[in-house]
Structure 1
């Protein structure tokens, strides 16, 4: 009997939003982060010849593939070694850098063409994760018989998670759980409560990097091993997950709220009409008072 071929797919979602506090204070940090991601992706490809990888850039208004390029079938025959580096590693590095340059040029051309300037806002991480899951699903459908692919997604971001994307996040997390796709998160700046929920739901790892200078070391130590191997390693202890939900009216995390019994929408204040499914509810009245029994005096 032929032996089953097992491969691993890694999809990295890199947050390139210029509104991140890290990039506002240190613009050169994006180059350092890209160097670490390139080394991390090449290390993943080096583990097994059949391993595959993809890198997506998440922006304020769009999500683009940095690697592989759209329509790319593989490494071209004209690729040559540079400084003794393996051809595949050279291809990954060149494609990622050209992809980031293409993204920056496109943004500059959009501004020069007189397009409306978008104020610095939240990164579309939920949309980028949805694109990553679609890419994983497409590759799984293209697998030949006798092949098995273990897929995972790694988010590298310095932005804060937005409660306005709460429903999109939840849809992505439970879709990833159904598809058996592990989600890992590497936070560069602050605690990300919603993404912590995604890691816990899908069985992934969440790490807030304590020192940005050691980003590559943390990527290789924590996120390079595949999920089945992580059980045998000594990794950072899991964080306490904040499972608060975001209300549908103000998009803020709440501890106690009102839930629609029809569509399960969450609201911080009572509303007689659900704004999601338009179900009408009766106004909650005061609780009925219990009549106290009078004590009968015995002569």
Structure 2
């Protein structure tokens, strides 16, 4: 009877049915100039609405699905969800120092960041409470970020490297939270273990998604690539959805970490379709799916001297610094090593081509035919 009604399904152990926790960290490029250029096709309000649908779909997978959202602004990176316990209300003030009124900022203290820190509005019977909490936190934080942005902050660059560093730090913190305690044995009986040690240790599937609307800034090449290599070492894929152009460094980030890079510059209005079909599956589910791949990856680097993206440059053999032109006195600007240029700039030697010897013709034909015979084809005698 158990085989008919499949009641054995309910007798399985909890360890087989538990879902592995999944953390999705989203970095939103909030460059005002870039969003103003996309205002006719995709306003930032509609982009945030589509992004909230994507976040709710990720959270709806299960109770072990978690999300963290950051804003990469022109001069700083700001937490949108969960909200920081010490919001940056006055960016011009120094961190951890007195502001002149006797008050001191405590932004350098290690304060726990939890989901309960967000302001929870009135609950609605038609919306899941966590969805309402995430939406309220994102909208309030974005409104505060826009209100605190002045005309002096309107730079063409975006601090993506700082947002990546915060995302990696938060991921590392959450990973330690889900780690199970190590096994401990009884000194009197080394073979015995505590009941807590018999449970399987849980892992965390984490990934980072960048919503980019601006090009890569050459000045951010070194810190960005340092964060990319750290993510690759931690096996955290970095996905990128570009709404404008194809950022060079983010292409390399997706290639190095095994993430997905998509460019929606041709149709920014299809943002939700790109998010749902290209980035909803986590790293484990992608092993069973056919994910989008990059046909061409821009591997150009930025030079250390002028911060320009170059195709060909000079590389120091000691510290691997890249220069667009030969430094003064042929010395590396980073480590001071004397660079040996060898015969750089000399004209290549031209070797004359050897002339082929002409074979002697016999009876109007060459001595060797296509058949490989040493003599010509015999002519029949009449």
- Asked if Structure 1 and Structure 2 have the same fold, meaning a TM-score greater than 0.5 normalized by the shorter chain, the answer is yes
Greater relative contact order (Cα 8 A, min sep 6): structure 1 or 2?
Answer: 1
TM-score using structure 2 length: 0.68
Question: Are the counterparts in 2 of residues 75 and 88 from structure 1 also a CA contact under 8 Å?
Answer: no
> Mapping of 1:176-215 within 5 angstroms?
176-209=231-264, 210-215=266-271
Alpha-carbon distance between aligned partners in 2 of 1:212 and 1:46, rounded to the nearest angstrom: 25
Alpha-carbon distance between aligned partners in 2 of 1:5 and 1:236, rounded to the nearest angstrom: 26
Consecutive unaligned residues of structure 2, counting only runs of 5 or more, are 1-12, 86-112, 181-200, 352-382
- Higher-Rg structure is 2
Q: 2:322 aligns with which of 266, 272, 283?
A: 266
Alpha-carbon distance between aligned partners in 2 of 1:148 and 1:181, rounded to the nearest angstrom: 13
> Mapping of 1:92-107 within 5 angstroms?
92-107=134-149
1:14 aligns to 2:57 (yes or no): no
Aligned-pair CA distance for 1:12: 0.3
1:91 aligns to 2:140 (yes or no): no
1:23/1:83 CA distance change after superposition, 3 Å: farther
TM-score using structure 1 length: 0.86
Q: Deviations over 1:125-157 (max 9, x none)?
A: 111111111111111122240221111000001
Alpha-carbon distance between aligned partners in 1 of 2:48 and 2:347, rounded to the nearest angstrom: 64
Q: 1:73 aligns with which of 106, 111, 114?
A: 114
Consecutive unaligned residues of structure 1, counting only runs of 5 or more, are 112-116, 293-299
> Mapping of 1:1-299 within 5 angstroms?
3=15, 6-20=20-34, 22-24=35-37, 26=39, 29-71=43-85, 72-75=113-116, 80-107=122-149, 117-145=152-180, 146-209=201-264, 210-271=266-327, 272-282=330-340, 284=342
Residues matched between the structures, number: 283
Question: Are the counterparts in 2 of residues 40 and 224 from structure 1 also a CA contact under 8 Å?
Answer: yes
- The alignment partner of 1:32 has SS state of helix
- The alignment partner of 1:148 has SS state of coil
1:289/1:24 CA distance change after superposition, 3 Å: closer
Alpha-carbon distance between aligned partners in 2 of 1:276 and 1:179, rounded to the nearest angstrom: 28
Alpha-carbon distance between aligned partners in 2 of 1:268 and 1:144, rounded to the nearest angstrom: 46
Q: Alpha carbon RMSD of aligned pairs, Å? A: 2.6
1:207/1:288 CA distance change after superposition, 3 Å: closer
Larger proportion of strand: 1
Question: Are the counterparts in 1 of residues 305 and 323 from structure 2 also a CA contact under 8 Å?
Answer: yes
